[in-house]
Structures are given as C-alpha cells and as structure tokens.
Homo-oligomer: A and B are copies of this chain.
C-alpha cells in the first residue's frame, strides 16, 4: 500500500549498498512518469453551453473534451440509460459523480441518521457503477454540518469508508475524497491529508481515493506539485477552476492563476485520470470554454 520504497534485507549490510541491484531498484521505483501522463479534459454538465444534453456533449467533444461529470441523478435508472447512450453516441466517458456530504450524515453520531447516509451513498455508488464512473466525490463534512473534532471525524471516516469502499469496488467504482479550503471545511483541507486517509483505509484497492481541486488548493497548498506528488496513485480526479483572485473560481485562464506547478505534479506521477471543469465563467461560455481548454493545454506543455 505504501509508495515508500524499502530496500531488501541484503541491502541492510553495508557491503550491499553499492551493488547495482540496490541502486537500480532505488532509482527505477519512483522516478518521473511524465511519459505516460496525459491531460484529459472533462466538464460538469452545468458548465457546458447548450440547451440539451446532446448539444452540450457535441460541443464538449468538438473542443477536445474526453468525459463529462454528472450528479446524484444516477440513482435514477432512466438517467443512467440516457448517459450510457450519450457516452456511446459521442464517444465520451463519465468521469465521476459529483456528490458531497449528504448533509454530513455519514459522520453523524445518530446511528439512524448515519445509516440513512450510508444507504444513500450506496445508491449513488450503484448508479456510478452503471454509468462506468471512476468514482463518487465525497466530502465527510462541510463547515456547519458537524460539531465533531478532527480526531473524532477521522475515527468515523476510518470506520465507514472501508465499508463503503468495499461496496464501491463491488460496483466497479470508488469513493473519491475531496479536500476543500478552510472556507468550506475544517476537516480534510489538503490533498496530502486526504491521501493519508486513503492509505489508512486501504487505498485504491479498497475503493478509497482522493482528488484535488485547484480552487481549494489555491488557499491550502503551498505547492500544487507537492500536493499531487503526495496524492500519487491515490489521485483519481481533478477539478479545474481559478483560485480566489477575482474573478474568483472562474474558468482557468480568466483570473491569472497558473496551473503549471500543479501540472508538473500530475506529469510526475503519470496521471491519466480526468481534469474536470467546476467553475464559473466571465463572458460567453461558448467562446470562453474552448479558449480555456487551449489555455490549459498550453499550461500542460509548459509543465
């Protein structure tokens, strides 16, 4: 589970330290994986201009998008069928289900409330499996939804996440923990912390993964590159938005924030998941969205 590379027992003896085997095991394990990394753009449906779903997806595809991100409506079988038809019609994937905290029910100390939250989460995970989504985005608690301390929240997460993770894996999907900035949560604020919870809960094989959102990261991370390297193999989704400079949380390229440092991190870990727009827009989305996609490709090239 740990990415930390241990050297074999033989290497514990001083004599073995300079052998080629030891050196090569060390140097090949964790090196730069930029050769396999790809920028795969995606958007939440609400962010794509167009009156109907096919109109939106046709544009997204034309502009180079590879996937779309949907919501909890995947608990509706008819919606899943519609999304699956759209996936086939436009040769797109469903990246993730943008869900949330379910009102903080998952960390509730009331067993009945927590059980209801677990059931709801399971329904969404089932739907995620039906549309082939890589995971369901989850926030244990937003500010104002819980009175628990960080230690108590962590304890609860370590209890319910593995159970739901097992359910997710059985439905060919995962749980994606989303770290938020201080203005939205006091609990999981940094990507590295989300990643450490993933590891504690069994990681990707146990259905527990993490994401990074550039908007939140702007407030909480001192280095987007460091954050994504810490996420490593646990990283399963990325949200794209400008940071808190005005215009706040807008389309990448519209508020001056660079994505290069973060993209260097994504390249380093060989990220091949999706980067999905979750942001506002200054001006006409029809014009601005493809411009932002080109901006991001330019930033990727610079990284």
Q: Among B220, B221, B260, which residue has its beta carbon within 8 angstroms of that of A5?
A: B260
Question: When the two chains form their complex, are residues A224 and B27 in contact, meaning their CB atoms are under 8 A apart?
Answer: no
Question: When the two chains form their complex, are residues A234 and B258 in contact, meaning their CB atoms are under 8 A apart?
Answer: no
Docked Cα-Cα span, A26 to B12, in Å, equals 42
Question: When the two chains form their complex, are residues B225 and A227 in contact, meaning their CB atoms are under 8 A apart?
Answer: no
User: Which range contains the number of A residues in contact with the other chain?
Assistant: 35 or more
* Copies of this chain, count: 2
Question: When the two chains form their complex, are residues A4 and B224 in contact, meaning their CB atoms are under 8 A apart?
Answer: yes
Q: Collect the chain B residues with CB atoms within 8 Å of residue A265's CB.
A: 226
Q: Collect the chain B residues with CB atoms within 8 Å of residue A26's CB.
A: 258, 260, 299, 302
Interface centre among A229, A254, A258, A299 (most CB of B within 10 A): A229
Interface members, chain A 260-282 (any B CB < 8 Å) = 260-261, 264-265
Contacts from A to B (Cβ < 8 Å)? 2-7, 9, 11-12, 14, 17-18, 23, 26-27, 29-30, 149-151, 186, 189-190, 192-193, 195-196, 198-199, 218, 220-232, 234, 243, 245, 253-254, 256-258, 260-261, 264-265, 291, 294-295, 298-299, 302
